Amino acid sequence: MAVRHRVVVIGSGFGGLFATRRLRRAPVDVTLIDRANHHLFQPLLYQVATGILSDGEIAPPSREILRRAPNVRVELANVTHIDLDARTVIGDQLGRKLVASYDSLIVATGSSHSYFGHDEFERWAPAMKTLDNARELRARLFGAFEVAEFETDVAARRSWMTFAVIGGGPTGVEVAGQIEELSRRSLRRNFRSIDPASARVVLCEAGPAILPTFGKRLSEMATRELERKGIDVLVNSAVVGVDASGVDLRSSDGKTTRIECMTKVWAAGVEASPLAGLLAEASGAEVDRHGRVHVLPDCTLEGHPEVFVIGDAMALGDLPGVAEVAIQQGLFAARTIRRRLRGRAESKPFRYIDLGSLAVVSRFRAVASIGPIRVGGFIGWLAWLVVHLTFLTGFKNRVAAVAHWAVSFVGRSRSERALTVDEIRPESKLADPGSH
């Protein structure tokens, strides 16, 4: 029996998953490796963090998505090494060693959050990248109101009811909007000592404007809308310190201010996964300041036409780090592999079709930048809805998730508010800060 062409895909995010799906009828054997058992619909992760959706609604198991692709094997493993010469991927599977040989490799390991050299911030300001992050943030958010309810010291209570979101990109804007929303609507009548609606939400952005990639008009529209809702939008405010009880900001003119707040969310920076750096070292390719490895115009690693690096792990021209780039590159890599197997080895460059960017500012209001079209308000929100509905297609839970989500948008309910005993035990970040 002839050995079929072996493709290894690392990462079941947008890039890896779309590449794998596109290879399911090709004459290849695919191994998809990821540290978790699920794809993550990251654009809605903030809805898990704020109690709207459940884990499963945005994290369908990769095996389930690929169950009708008999040529695909899913491996749960943490890839630790790629041997470019031996064309082998080495991973750790819960203490056991995984060795996967490839003829073609697609590295789609994405990015994690970056604290710009201040990893000590992470303890107090969790990021928004994984389900674990979202669960932790959810516990902190709902827990903060619980503590404020019994806290008798006025200043401390104020600090538990102040929420700082660090980073004015789409994730930061969406998280800030949802925290404000839950304080003003979802927790209504729930408390006796505090009025959740009096919570203060601060959105801190180091640059001169939030949502800079959306252009001046939409950025200003989003700022107005957030401010109308009562969110403090602080631009030119770089976070220079994060500790148990607050954040320190430095404005562009060098002045520093402090915001006392127990709950912080980090939505500021991203950094490519360490595998991008390993690949760069092994191949001699450059990495950019976000740790992304530079690839050739056909998304392959210099000197290694059999290795594709796609999505947030790679740097190519001025491609942004968004899901849409990862998806298109995943499809492109799969197409290139299929073409080569048909004997057409000429290299074609990847061309990105910009379908635009979207961010939800508040209920029924979003900003959308789609090619030359830039819309805000309700029309922007409709655009956001259509794009996400389209994206969710192919997800097993799309009907349930969309229904759930529609109900949450229209109504005031947050159904995922349970704090477990483990989440509120004294070691948690909800304990008296004096005890740390």
The residues that touch a second copy, with contacts defined as CB under 8 A, are 35-38, 51, 54-57, 59-61, 63-64, 67-68, 70, 73-77, 92-96, 98, 130-132, 135, 142, 146-147, 149-151, 187-192, 396-397, 400, 403-404, 407, 413, 415-422, 424, 426, 428, 430-432, 434-435
Q: Which is nearer to a second copy, 372 or 434 (CB)?
A: 434
75 is catalytic: no
Q: Which is nearer to a second copy, 144 or 166 (CB)?
A: 144
Strand 314-315, strand 256-260: pairing: unpaired
Cα distance between residue 15 and residue 312, in whole Å:
9
Judge contact between 102 and 7, C-beta under 8 A. Answer: yes
Q: Which is nearer to a second copy, 271 or 324 (CB)?
A: 271
Q: Which is nearer to a second copy, 81 or 344 (CB)?
A: 81
Paired tokens of 387: 């794009």
Q: How far is the CB of 22 from a second copy (least distance, A)?
A: 19
Cα distance between residue 404 and residue 306, in whole Å:
43
Contact partners, residue 387, CB within 8 Å, separation at least 6: 355, 356, 358, 368
Cα distance between residue 239 and residue 259, in whole Å:
10
Q: Which is nearer to a second copy, 90 or 131 (CB)?
A: 131
The radius of gyration computed from the CA coordinates of the chain, to the nearest angstrom, equals 22
Q: Which of 174, 225, 271, 416 is an active site residue?
A: 174
Amino acid sitting at position 221 = M
Sheet containing strand 200-204, edge to edge, reads 232-234, 200-204, 162-166, 263-266
Q: Packing angle between helix 14-22 and helix 323-341, nearest 10 degrees?
A: 30
- Bridge partners of residue 246, in order along the sequence: 243, 260
Q: How far is the CB of 170 from a second copy (least distance, A)?
A: 23
Q: How far is the CB of 344 from a second copy (least distance, A)?
A: 30
Q: How far is the CB of 34 from a second copy (least distance, A)?
A: 10
Residues forming the active site: 174
